[in-house]
Chain A
């Protein structure tokens, strides 16, 4: 303690060391995915991480009041950006998701993930405890969730809409809304799902679901992604084919080897061992996030921390399930490994928020009021 300066020693190294390790590992994978070209994906991956880590450290300096104050305006601003995307955004990959800001292409739906968590944390943090099991706890929150989800679905981007919904529902659940409501909602969803499936989804989304159920039925068409991903992971074996030796990624059998399917690229070259390492690092980061939430002194911080952790978890869980053939193909990248600015930004905002709450926790020791 004495040698290391206090500001550095105070950083949450329990999370940061595995995280940095993961990002460096990710840049190695991207170096290989970029056919041994450091500048193709890997260097920008590291640079972005550096920039957003700095941003996260700056965020830790924000005070609780400032964050509480920014919740509603921030949410509103992101909502405006989402409307702007639908109005003037450009189309890429069959969906209208991006805003060209000149220096970078911004995907506002990514920003909405932390924003929805923040605004709901603020909402439920403010809500008197007695009002929680009433309609007044549900209706405004429902509107706060419905608006961005609808806008994102219009793009159309089912994966991100679900991610937004997942973060929001996690916050609502932790806020103490009655369990029966969630069960009821779940039941309603089970009823609506078939209808939504046949009438609400786009053809390509429906096909992806069918393909997920039986990928081998069309190995050269829609099942191609899942099949090739499973081949990449499965052929890696215990310790992989070796760094730079992945044939599935290098010979372009694996689609999107540097973004959505980066885990498959990694697992092919590093095998089961590499996969376990990635899972272990995510487990450490997420458990740290939960511990931050647990140590929080007030409802707002607790909900915010849990919601941010849930958002990262959702990314990780859906992406890994997808690449291993446990979920349909939805375009969700793997945090800290996939190449891509917007997802790195979102996840680092989540990390930054957690680090910020961690700092709040250190300053004000755990209170006894909230359990």
Chain B
């Protein structure tokens, strides 16, 4: 008996004296619950300091499935309390089932106080449910900035495995998932605050012990002009396309809008499966950033650049060629888009009337290498130093490239194709805008997206000033003279815009006339531009996928440029359009989603396993399409005769032998200039 008493006393001493420190610590870690306060994310500002992405205070509810006794039942109960729509609740249930370890799952955000309180009072019998006051990311212009800024979302299991930061599994914390939000994640993140609270074993908070405020992430100021970005995105309207504009002096990107887009506000709580299905099924690929990942044959928009190459090689701009509607090269006849011919054409007319024969003729004497060098100097095929995840840089073909890639020697008709922006040539809209800026300014303009301290002006792009002013004048005539885009004239006094039209054919003539019929067989419309033409300040590019020709592109360029000089006039035009389109881009997207969701019911189509896959998939498809286009380069093509408004109808098989057997949906690039005569 005494022995046992000694043993017990000894044990007591061991526990409470020898091991006291250890157990005191454990008791403290029981009692005190340290919870991180997610830091408010840094704002993303436009060039004038207006927020393009900010934070909105709201009430939210998260769950940690790991700590829940019956996750399915509890989430169902939350769904009833918060009256969550069945499809959204089904998505939450899926995410709860898939959650691993300490990962929180968001149930609802943007709750009002009553809902928040309704959950809070039921906490004692709902383990693992965390209602809190927090901030959610807010993008005021929604879809207009979707591709540019990206969106935020809860960290996935993979992301947590990579970066074991406990912040990533703090309920309510979101990381950048795409676009600038992802690129500047570390800068925007900030420092989490912490709250020490005394809790009971069942998790009820007894009192707060200490709170350290979070430190908001640092803001980023972009070069983007927020209102212009929104205007450009909305002006694209029902089309699928992109608008990029640069400041010619600084290279600052003023807008880069790619539409249709997604609403990053609704993406932030994870992509709903219905919404994902809607975006995925859309043939206009709203998930693809067309500015960086859309590759298009540049078509006639390369003609000013090719002219610059001719000038640099010493070609006299007064030298003329007679256009009779076509030119025989070897044993093939390459036709001009204008079947009737342009008559005598010099360089200026070649640009403003977009005469193909002029370029066919002189390209053969100058050769491909100077043209390819000039294309590269103008930014084609270039990857720019921008904070983006990836850029598709396209192709500037030359003899060495073709030999390496296809093992075939360069043929004369390859030069002929390339000089009018077809064949193997592919570029993205940003490259086109940079090309416009470099041609307009004569300087080596580098695009930038983040506002920084003043940098020295760009180096001259070794164009001689006379050549630059010649090209400017010819491009001004496209719009303001006897050119192909008379309707693009700015409705602003004393400001003249210069530009160049382009049309890229996607299927053979026997498939479609390029202007009507199934949407995806219609021609792409392109337009590069700058203004004012004599002292260029702004330059840009508009690409409208399957717009049926450049006629779809240059009115947009005109309105977007007008917005910079006279916003009121531009807005009036847009309001008129939006009335007939059925609202702003955001409104239309919401309406479309509502219609789609009610038609689809609760669609159980599975989401891709990770959110990164969603974009990887559309990227892959874009790459595939670009390859397909490039592979069709080894053909002669037949410019669209109907590009001229006074069309005479298609003349199938009238051109070289290579284009005749085109029966598949082979995207053959075709050039044309469209538009009414001024």
Contacts and interface: CB of A to CB of B under 8 A. Distances in A.
Interface of A: 228, 230-238, 247-248, 251-253, 267-268, 271-272, 275-276, 279, 282-283, 286, 290, 313, 317, 320-321, 324-326
30 contacts: A231-B23, A231-B26, A232-B27, A233-B16, A234-B19, A234-B20, A234-B22, A234-B27, A236-B20, A237-B17, A237-B20, A238-B20, A247-B30, A248-B27, A251-B30, A251-B199, A253-B200, A253-B201, A267-B12, A267-B16, A272-B12, A279-B12, A283-B2, A313-B1, A317-B8, A320-B8, A324-B11, A324-B12, A325-B11, A326-B7
Nearest to B22: A234
A279 B11 CA distance: 12
A271 B201 CA distance: 22
B17 A272 contact: yes
Contacts of A233: 12, 15-16, 23
Given A231-B23, A237-B16, 7 more contacts: A234-B22, A235-B26, A247-B198, A248-B30, A251-B206, A272-B13, A290-B1
A230 B23 contact: yes
A268 B24 CA distance: 10
B16 A275 contact: yes
B202 interface: yes
A276 B9 contact: yes
A251 B202 CA distance: 9
Nearest to A272: B16
Contacts of B198: 247, 251
- B interface, over-half SS: helix
B2 to A, nearest CB: 8
Contacts of B206: 251
B22 A252 contact: no
Contact of B12 (A251, A252, A276, A286): A276
B200 to A, nearest CB: 4
B487 interface: no
A-B pairs, 6 with minimum CB distance: A234-B23, A235-B27, A252-B201, A235-B23, A234-B15, A272-B16
A255 B547 CA distance: 73
B12 A275 contact: yes
Contacts of B16: 233-234, 236-238, 267, 271-272, 275
Contact of A235 (B4, B5, B7, B20): B20
A361 to B, nearest CB: 20
A251 B200 contact: yes
Contacts of A290: 1
Highest count of chain B CB atoms <10 Å: which of A235, A279, A321: A235
B31 interface: yes
A286 B11 contact: no
Contact of A321 (B8, B30, B199): B8
Contact of A324 (B8, B26, B30, B202): B8
A325 B9 CA distance: 13
Nearest to A290: B1
Contacts of B202: 252
Interface in B7-59: 7-9, 11-13, 15-17, 19-20, 22-24, 26-28, 30-31
A291 B245 CA distance: 103
A232 B19 CA distance: 12
Interface of B: 1-2, 4-5, 7-9, 11-13, 15-17, 19-20, 22-24, 26-28, 30-31, 198-202, 206
Given A251-B30, A251-B201, A286-B1, A234 B8 contact: no
A316 to B, nearest CB: 9
Highest count of chain B CB atoms <10 Å: which of A231, A233, A252, A283: A231
A88 to B, nearest CB: 33
Contacts of A228: 30
B191 to A, nearest CB: 30
Contacts of A275: 9, 12, 16
A46 B31 CA distance: 31
A238 B26 CA distance: 17
Nearest to B32: A247
A311 B481 CA distance: 115
Contacts of A320: 8
B20 A252 contact: no
Nearest to A238: B17
A234 B30 contact: no
Contacts of A313: 1
Nearest to A275: B12
Nearest to A313: B1
A222 B9 CA distance: 26
Given A279-B9, A283-B5, A320-B8, A247 B23 contact: no
A366 B28 CA distance: 57
A321 B26 CA distance: 21
Contacts of A231: 23, 26-27, 30
Nearest to A263: B12
Contacts of B22: 234
Contacts of B201: 251-253
Contacts of A317: 4, 8
Nearest to B8: A320
Nearest to A232: B27
B67 to A, nearest CB: 10
A231 B25 CA distance: 9
A38 to B, nearest CB: 21
Contacts of A282: 5
Nearest to A234: B23
B628 to A, nearest CB: 57
Contacts of B11: 324-326
A250 to B, nearest CB: 8
Nearest to A252: B201
Contacts of B15: 230, 233-234, 324-325
A333 to B, nearest CB: 16
A140 B26 CA distance: 52
A93 to B, nearest CB: 19
Contacts of A321: 8
A287 B286 CA distance: 87
Contacts of A286: 1
Contact of A251 (B5, B24, B31): B31
Highest count of chain B CB atoms <10 Å: which of A237, A313, A317: A237
A335 to B, nearest CB: 14
